[in-house]
Amino acid sequence: MDATLEDVPPRLRAMLRMLLTKCIDDERVRSVWLEGSVARGLADDWSDIDLHLAVMEPENFAAIEWLDSEVHLVLSDAIPELTGAFICLTSDWIHIDLNVHSSENELPSDGARHILLDRDGLIQDRPNAQRPPDQPFFPAQDVQIFLYFLGKTVASVHRSDLIALSQATAMMRDRLLVNLGRSISGLASI
């Protein structure tokens, strides 16, 4: 386990150290890990933080309030159809995808993972996790979120809600279309 975060871009490092301290101080939080570009060592100062928490009694863990008590959130929203998944934006414009899992259930096993805390020794680092070569890559979650945002853009156009339209368009472009395009070529998400 490497919680030094020396390989994390400087802009994100202070935020992650603060969140890790909060996790260490909260016994309900059993494991903490990063996924996405930060876990793969490909992040830059403007990458999002894909933060995963395995907690005791997730149904009683108020994730947004927990995060907002440490950092000021200007936006927080549950990701539709994904229990325990939230999109958050801090006042410093750091994008955090917060994912809460039950410490009692089997944890997700695909993709790169960088462990920050594992009180019970249940998970392993996978910095360069790759899918088996015979297993096709299909970003089902990205497709689901893309279709959700696509539907929201139609409603935003009809309501003349330019702010919502701008946010949905940016999210589709920056977070989803690249991964969907890569999957057409048989490449995994970045």
Profile the chain (190 residues) by mean pLDDT over runs of 10 residues.
74 93 96 89 88 94 95 89 90 92 80 88 67 55 74 81 81 71 60
pLDDT of residue 132: 47
Domains of the chain, first to last: 10-118 (3.30.460.10), 140-184 (no CATH)
Give the 3-state DSSP-derived string for the chain, with helices as H, strands as E and coil as C: CCCCCCCCCHHHHHHHHHHHHHHHHCCCEEEEEEEHHHHHCCCCCCCCEEEEEEECCHHHCCHHHHHHCCCCEEEEEECCCCCCEEEEEECCCCEEEEEEEECCCCCCCCCCEEEEEECCCCCCCECCCCCCCCCCCCCHHHHHHHHHHHHHHHHHHHHCCHHHHHHHHHHHHHHHHHHHHHHHCCCCCC
pLDDT of residue 131: 44
Select from 92, 18, 96, 15 the least CA-distant residue to 52.
96
Contact 39, 73 (CB under 8 A): no
* Integer Cα distance of 188 and 175 in angstroms: 14
* Integer Cα distance of 87 and 75 in angstroms: 8
pLDDT of residue 95: 92
pLDDT of residue 1: 44
